């Protein structure tokens, strides 16, 4: 009898839960999807959409589901799954473009339902010319890169190595001479000092010549062998960095001449030329990266920062190589004490100018940029260097306070930690050389190749950081070169540029731009894209991000009729009109078999 109430309650519970729909665990399946199973996707999708046959159980269940997309065995990043209001549709945004090839979508629900489907990604970009004339041939042409495009030799490794050797050798020469002038003028009396400066001068000059050779080879696109002759160094002077390196070579040769017999550095008659050469050797470092925010301030800070660094490295090198070469008299002790006194202001100068330079070219982008992450690694080594240096200076100032000479025991005790300090200095210079090969967030990429003056330049902006620049030249009927530059947003899909003439008797173009991040795409003039209609044209720019469609942007421009060319060099400037002879204008251009589109470097916002 006592069990009857319990049985009654159990019967009511069973009846209550069985009154709704009952689904067996793990029997949910897909009713449809986007992309669909077996579909060939020609435009990169912005999201995955799965529609299930049964309710999935709520938003909390969706957050626990498993969902992955792999194309050619390479995972594509997805955003968190989201449940639609119908309770059966799950969507997940793609945060990167899937790789071309076979793609597999795998999904699983917490109730045990699992499944997968495949589709093929083929996002090769096409340029479509809509036709308005019956019977006209098909004008859909795949955009392909020119396989015969010539690339410059990859010389980043040799340039980085030579730049490191130059950093150290020039610092040893400059800093060593400054140490002799300011702290230890007695050092010129030692024969090993003269030998040291001769070796450093030769190494610095040879390293600079080798750096000039590899930089010339990279700039000209030729080989290293053809860049050995000084008569082939012409391309070096096309950039500020190249001119600065050559100036540095001249300064090093001059300093080497005076340091060859080191006593000449201290002679009053040589004070002016040696000071000028020392200044030129450091001034040349101000133009290694003369760009970014506050360029003038950056040049000044670069010169001061490198001067402090060179004094530090050169002083440590001369202490390790000469002062601690063996026991000696009180002048060696005075050299160590002199360095201990000036090391603190030198340290403050290095850290202070370095922090301002970080703000100028990196800002707060230390984690989300490659340059910033390497910079953080450099900070770690600099911290270790300062710790070792502070320990050595404390020993010199306190432990050698009453020393009258440098005995063998002190030399043995200091040789190793000073060697560690010198090694850490070289490691810091190596990271600096590494950083020189990278582009900070606030530094523009270097222009390469011949410049092009575009006849029509239209700069368009809209909401959601949508910023596009459209450049066209020569702006005449017929074949034209078109450059499309994207400055924002940071990611884009289905990026299209539609060119429509006002004259309805002529067809327009829709260009599917093959970029997904800020950058540029170029349609060459011989690609077969012909602007046949003179007069007014309308350009419409569209795109999609992971959060939805971007607001379309439109602009108008004028294509000349072949007799009068209207040039718009920059927005906001006055247009100039030039009348040319009719016979010099080509209005019929045979279409090329393929459109050549090349992706350029990301432009600066």
Q: What DSSP element (H or E) covers 335?
A: helix 330-361
Is the distance from CB of 255 to CB of 278 less than 8 angstroms?
yes
**Which pLDDT band holds residue 468 (cuts at 50, 70, 90)?**
very high
Is a pLDDT exceeding 70 seen at residue 25?
Answer: no
Residue 282 CA to residue 303 CA, distance in Å, equals: 6
CATH topology assigned to domain 126-147+450-600: Immunoglobulin-like (2.60.40)
**Which pLDDT band holds residue 96 (cuts at 50, 70, 90)?**
confident
Long-range contacts of 387-392 (CB under 8 A, 24+ apart): 388/417, 388/420, 388/421, 388/424, 389/343, 389/347, 389/421, 391/417, 392/340, 392/417, 392/418, 392/421
Is the distance from CB of 242 to CB of 236 less than 8 angstroms?
yes
Average pLDDT (569-585) is 40
Residue 33 CA to residue 538 CA, distance in Å, equals: 36
Q: How many other CB atoms are there within 10 angstroms of residue 415's CB atom?
A: 15
Average pLDDT (76-94) is 84
Is a pLDDT exceeding 90 seen at residue 99?
Answer: no
Q: State whether CATH 2.60.40.1220 applies to domain 27-121.
A: yes
What pLDDT, in 10s, does the model give residues 37-71? 888 887 777 788 888 888 888 888 888 888 888 88
Residue 457 phi, psi dihedral angles, 5° rounding: -130, 115
Residue 51 CA to residue 81 CA, distance in Å, equals: 12
Is a pLDDT exceeding 50 seen at residue 585?
Answer: no
Is a pLDDT exceeding 50 seen at residue 590?
Answer: no
Residue 57 CA to residue 113 CA, distance in Å, equals: 12
**In this structure, what DSSP letter does residue 583 have?**
G
Residues 6+ apart with CB under 8 A from 83: 56, 58, 59, 62, 89, 90
Is a pLDDT exceeding 50 seen at residue 141?
Answer: no
Average pLDDT (181-187) is 92
**Which pLDDT band holds residue 542 (cuts at 50, 70, 90)?**
very high
Q: Please state the domain extents for the chain.
A: 27-121, 126-147+450-600, 156-436
Cα–Cα distances in angstroms (integers) from residue 78 to residues 70, 93, 255, 544, 605, in the given order: 10, 6, 59, 16, 27
Greater confidence (153 vs 36) lies with 36
Is a pLDDT exceeding 70 seen at residue 599?
Answer: no
SS3 118: strand
Fold: same for 27-121 and 126-147+450-600: yes
Average pLDDT (491-512) is 87
Most confident of 20-24, 146-150, 474-478: 474-478
SS3 78: strand
SS3 364: coil
356: nearest Cα among 297, 309, 307:
297
Strands (DSSP E) found in 387-534? 456-462, 466-473, 478-479, 481-488, 493-501, 509-512, 519-523, 530-531
- Predicted confidence at residue 133, as pLDDT, reads 42
Residue 472 CA to residue 482 CA, distance in Å, equals: 5
Average pLDDT (363-378) is 88
| Mean of the per-residue pLDDT values of the chain | 81
Residue 239 CA to residue 165 CA, distance in Å, equals: 21
Is a pLDDT exceeding 50 seen at residue 259?
Answer: yes
590: nearest Cα among 474, 478, 473, 472:
478
255: nearest Cα among 238, 243, 273, 239:
273
Q: What is the pTM of this model?
A: 0.57
Least confident residue range of 257-261, 293-297, 467-471: 293-297
Greater confidence (598 vs 363) lies with 363
- Predicted confidence at residue 444, as pLDDT, reads 64
Strands (DSSP E) found in 122-209? 126-128, 140-144
- Predicted confidence at residue 127, as pLDDT, reads 41
């Amino acid at each position: 009898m006592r069990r009857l109430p319990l049985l009654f309650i159990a019967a009511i519970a069973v009846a209550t839960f069985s009154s709704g729909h009952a689904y067996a665990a793990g029997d949910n399946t897909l009713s449809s999807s986007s992309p669909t199973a077996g579909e060939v996707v020609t435009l990169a999708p912005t999201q995955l959409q799965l529609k299930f046959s049964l309710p999935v159980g709520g938003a909390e269940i969706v957050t626990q589901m498993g969902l992955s997309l792999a194309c050619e065995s390479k995972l594509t990043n997805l955003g968190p799954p989201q449940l639609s209001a119908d309770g059966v549709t799950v969507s997940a945004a793609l945060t990167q473009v899937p790789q071309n090839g076979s793609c597999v979508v795998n999904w699983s629900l917490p109730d045990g339902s699992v499944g997968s489907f495949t589709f093929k990604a083929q996002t090769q970009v096409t340029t479509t010319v809509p036709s308005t004339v019956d019977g006209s041939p098909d004008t859909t042409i795949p955009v392909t890169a020119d396989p015969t495009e010539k690339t410059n030799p990859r010389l980043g490794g040799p340039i980085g190595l030579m730049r490191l050797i130059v950093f150290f050798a020039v610092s040893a020469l400059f800093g060593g001479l400054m140490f002799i002038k300011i702290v230890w003028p007695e050092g010129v009396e030692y024969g090993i000092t003269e030998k040291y400066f001769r070796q450093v001068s030769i190494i610095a000059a040879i390293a600079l010549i080798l750096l000039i050779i590899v930089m010339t080879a990279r700039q000209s696109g030729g080989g290293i062998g053809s860049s050995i002759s000084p008569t082939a160094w012409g391309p070096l002077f096309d950039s500020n960095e190249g001119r600065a390196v050559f100036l540095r070579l001249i300064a090093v040769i001059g300093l080497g001449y005076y340091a060859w017999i080191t006593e000449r550095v201290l002679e009053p008659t040589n004070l002016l030329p040696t000071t000028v050469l020392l200044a030129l050797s450091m001034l040349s470092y101000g133009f290694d990266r003369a760009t970014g925010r506050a360029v003038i301030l950056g040049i000044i800070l670069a010169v001061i920062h490198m001067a402090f660094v060179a004094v530090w490295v050169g002083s440590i090198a001369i202490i390790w190589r000469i002062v601690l070469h063996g026991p000696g008299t009180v002048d060696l002790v005075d050299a160590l004490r002199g360095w201990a006194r000036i090391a603190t202001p030198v340290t403050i100068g290095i850290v202070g100018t370095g922090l301002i330079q970080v703000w100028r070219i990196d800002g707060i982008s230390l984690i989300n940029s490659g340059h910033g992450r390497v910079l953080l690694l450099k900070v770690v080594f600099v911290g270790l260097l300062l710790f070792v240096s502070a320990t050595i200076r404390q020993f010199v100032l306190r432990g050698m306070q009453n020393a009258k000479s440098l005995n063998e025991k002190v030399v043995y005790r200091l040789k190793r930690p000073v060697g560690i300090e010198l090694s850490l200095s070289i490691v810091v210079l190596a990271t600096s050389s590494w950083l020189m090969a990278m582009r900070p967030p606030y530094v523009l990429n270097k222009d390469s190749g011949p410049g092009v003056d575009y006849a029509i330049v239209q700069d368009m902006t809209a909401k959601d950081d949508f910023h596009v620049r459209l450049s066209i030249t020569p702006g005449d009927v017929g074949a034209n070169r078109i450059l499309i530059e994207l400055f924002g947003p940071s990611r884009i899909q289905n990026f299209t540029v539609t060119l429509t003439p006002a004259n309805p008797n002529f067809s327009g173009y829709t260009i599917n731009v093959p970029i997904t991040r800020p950058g540029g795409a170029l349609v060459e003039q011989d690609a077969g894209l012909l602007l046949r209609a003179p007069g007014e044209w309308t350009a419409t720019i569209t795109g999609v991000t992971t959060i939805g469609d971007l607001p379309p942007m439109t602009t108008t421009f004028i294509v000349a009729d072949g007799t009068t060319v209207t040039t718009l060099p920059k927005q906001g400037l006055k247009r100039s009109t030039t009348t040319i002879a009719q016979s010099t204008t080509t209005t019929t251009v045979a279409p090329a078999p393929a459109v050549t589109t090349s992706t350029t470097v990301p432009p600066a916002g």
